[in-house]
Structure 1
Amino acid sequence: MDWDDAYANATHIPGGADFPAQWRRDSDAFRKTMSVLGRARLGVMYGHGPREVVDIFLPDRTPKGVLIFVHGGFWRMFDGASWSHFAKGAQSAGWVVAMPTYDLCPRVRIADITRQIAQAISVVAHEFAGPIRLCGHSAGGHLVSRMLAPGLLPKDVLSRIQKSVPISPVADLRPLLNTRMNDDFQLDAASAAAESPVLMPAPSVAVTVWVGGDERPAFLDQARWLAEAWNCEHIIEPGKHHFDVINGLLDANSPLMRSLLEPVDA
């Protein structure tokens, strides 16, 4: 099996190489508009490093709560500023949206990124009141899933998380040991297992695993493995690939946003 091809996305999506530039253009336009309106707080530091910053977008009313979105890129690419426009759906529905940036492999290890995201969530949680929802895409789906592990977040923060929606998550890192990407990750069997949500206890937080129906088989497997391990809701959105499965975040009334933001039964 060609493990590198199994986890490749851009080469299997028509126009796949063009998505990052378009995301950045849309994000830049959104950031400018929100800054003019006074509804953006950009580059808020949650740590001491230059990439330990979070962008925060405010609704035009009293917030219903906080959505924290963590971007993907195989822990090796991008920053939060490439994804700002995906705050539109939740922001228009009355939620504060926070989008952290984090350090990248190989400069740091995935376990370090996990700790950074926990710190970012804690800082945001202490800044804004109300319920918290988590969402992340791909590697970001891994990271928001990891946040539900016992002892990673302070109890007062974890108790406020009502729902997590990992989108196309990498939930079992052990297959990545077989990829060339591991030259950057520097995972071994023990560290891959320690960072794999599928091997964590099932959380008490409501979780919906979301994945596109046209994704690579490896990502369909990863989503299914997490849903089975945690016995949680598993949505396969028809006709969506790895790069457009997040488009539902743009629309407050999309099925993805309804799953993420609607009230959760006690």
Structure 2
Amino acid sequence: MSNWETMSQDELEKQYSPSRWSHRMSPDEVVKSHVTALRAGTENAQRISQTQLNIPYGEGEDEKLDMYMPHNFSPNCPLLIYIHGGYWQFLTLSCTVKEESGFMAASLVPKGVAVVAVDYSIAPKGNMDLMVSQVRASVVSIMQRYPSSELYLCGHSAGAHLVAMVLSADWSKYNVTPDIKGAFLLSGIYDIVPIVSTYVNEPLTMTNEVALRNSPMCLLHQLKGSISTDVVIAVAEHDSPEFRRQSKDYYKSLKSMGLRATFEDVPNTDHFNILEKFVDHDYSLTQLLLKMMGKD
């Protein structure tokens, strides 16, 4: 069990500040390096992929997605839907976050997998309820657009939280049930109540009530629709103890419910390069993802 409620404010802030735990660089340096790596990876992915950009999945100005497809793309090609992180509020200040979220296509498109990068209304423009509803709607839209494709989800940090919220959706509200074959959750946060009293919540302005209804750990009873989904929960060796604890707790909860969950503790990585390494075909998690899709 967590003892976050007994932590000092300074310790709580530190635990939920991923950049302060990197073993490679200072907090500012690791964030700048991360943005540079994702941007470069996405530019490379655009060079090798057939792209369709700014496809609407809803009526909101942020409700758009980018597709990175093999040149021999067919309607039954596996689709990986990627939900970006950034603590629900930013990744960079200079451009739309989905435009830096196609990097995984660099290693997946050559293997016949299409990558879909989803945008949503980050805070302070969007609130948590809206963001959760948007990513769920994006999955429904993609399923309807490509009904014969196998769907896989991947999210990092706040994006892993949003993927877990997709898995916890009450699909009766959408009149469809997406057949999600697999999900990769990387360095995620699954109980967002601890961040309500931290700096992270300043642009989000969540109450405890909002945090509770948007915490995957509080919605385990709604996971019965995901019983056939393969779920990989990965955490970096140099994630903070709280991030590591949250990943282990969520994994144990899924296993206790009979879900097909596996836990990956990735050595010599931090909160940022656990994701950046997906541009490498030989990276252990890339290989695991391709194996899940039958593309290894």
TM-score scaled by length of structure 1: 0.89
Aligned to 1:228: 252
Q: State how far apart, in whole Å, the 2-side matches of 1:115 and 1:149 are.
A: 12
Alpha-carbon spacing, 1:135–1:28, altered in 2? closer, same or farther (3 Å): closer
Query: Deviation per CA, 1:153-206, whole angstroms, max 9, x where unpaired?
Result: 846452x21111110111101111120222222222221111111122243122
SS of structure 1 residue aligned to 2:271:
coil
Q: For residues 103 and 150 of structure 1, do their structure 2 counterparts lie closer, same or farther at Cα, with a shift above 3 Å needed?
A: closer
* Equivalent residue runs for 1:7-26 within 5 Å: 7-13=16-22, 14=25, 15-23=29-37, 25-26=39-40
Q: Runs of 5+ in structure 1 lacking a partner?
A: none
Distance in 2 between residues matched to 1:198 and 1:208, nearest whole Å? 16
- Residue in 2 that maps onto 1:107: 125
Match of 1:98 among 103, 107, 116: 116
Could you tell me which residue of structure 1 aligns to residue 87 of structure 2? 74
Aligned equivalents of 1:30 and 1:76: distance in 2? 25
CA distance in 2: counterparts of 1:168 and 1:221, whole angstroms = 10
Q: Distance in 2 between matches of 1:255 and 1:20?
A: 19
3-state SS in 1 of match to 2:82: strand
If the length of structure 2 is used for normalisation, what is the TM-score? Answer: 0.81
Residue 58 (structure 1) aligned to one of 45, 49, 69: 69
**Counterpart Cα distance in 1 of 2:218 and 2:120:** 24
Q: 1:258 to 1:100 in 2, by over 3 A?
A: same
Percent identity among equivalent residues? 21
TM-fit CA distance, 1:249: 2.1
Residue in 1 aligned with 2:5? none
Q: Which residue of 2 aligns with 1:141?
A: 160
Partner of 1:5: 14
Change (3 A) 1:150 1:120: closer
Q: 2:47 is matched with which residue: 20, 33, 58?
A: 33
Note closer, same or farther for the CA distance 1:82–1:261 as it changes in structure 2 (3 Å cut). Answer: same
Q: Compared with structure 1, are the counterparts of its residues 66 and 50 closer, same or farther at alpha carbon in structure 2 (3 Å cutoff)? A: same
C-alpha distance after superposition, 1:39-95 (max 9, x if no partner): 011111112222211010001334531100110000000311112222222212111
Unaligned runs of 5+ in 2: 1-7, 92-96, 256-260
3-state secondary structure, aligned to 1:218: helix
| Structure 1 residue 150 displacement after superposition | 4.0
- Give the structure 1 partner of residue 3 of structure 2: none
What is residue 142 of structure 2 aligned with on the other side? 124
Asked if the contact 1:125/1:157 (under 8 Å) is kept, the reply is no
| Residue of structure 2 aligned with 1:179, choices 189, 198, 210 | 198
Distance 1:83 1:183 in 2: 25
RMSD: 2.2
DSSP 3-state at the match of 2:103: helix
Secondary structure, in 3 states, of the residue corresponding to 2:202?
helix
Aligned counterpart for 1:196 among listed residues 197, 215, 226: 215
Cα distance, 1:5 vs structure 2: 1.6
